Amino acid sequence: MNKVILEVPIGYEDLTQIEKQFICNGCGAKGGIPVPNSFLGLDISEACNIHDYEYFIGGTKIDKDLADERFLRNLRAIIDGVMFYDDFDFIRHTEADLYYKAVVLWGDDSFVYEKNKKVKS
């Protein structure tokens, strides 16, 4: 696999391991329905963790929209970073589009949840 360079927001790379464990949990909402962290064996958890962080720090609808768009770009970067192309690429891109649509349509509760959790801590 080629070295995949993901887009990261300011502050993400400065997280301590403890902060990252508190904020990030891979794909899917914390405590929600389990969501796979891979597309046909391709690990996408870092794109999900970046998305979790952006939901945690975001405060506006624009922040959420930007986080969701970066999420899709990062998923595509991971898929396109595979050294070879195979029949699974189309399926992986379709899965990326589905994950993106899911966070756009149903991510509001998680986005708001992170604000409530941040206020309480």
Instruction: Indicate whether 2 belongs to any domain.
Output: no
List the CATH number of the domain containing 63. 1.20.90
Range of the domain at 67: 12-120
Q: Are 77 and 1 contacting, i.e. CB atoms less than 8 angstroms apart?
A: no
Domain count, the chain: 1
Q: How does pLDDT run across 14-53, given as a tens digit for each residue? A: 999 999 999 999 999 888 888 999 999 899 999 999 999 9
Q: Give the pTM.
A: 0.90
**CB contact set of 56 (below 8 Å; sequence gap of 6+):** 23, 114, 118
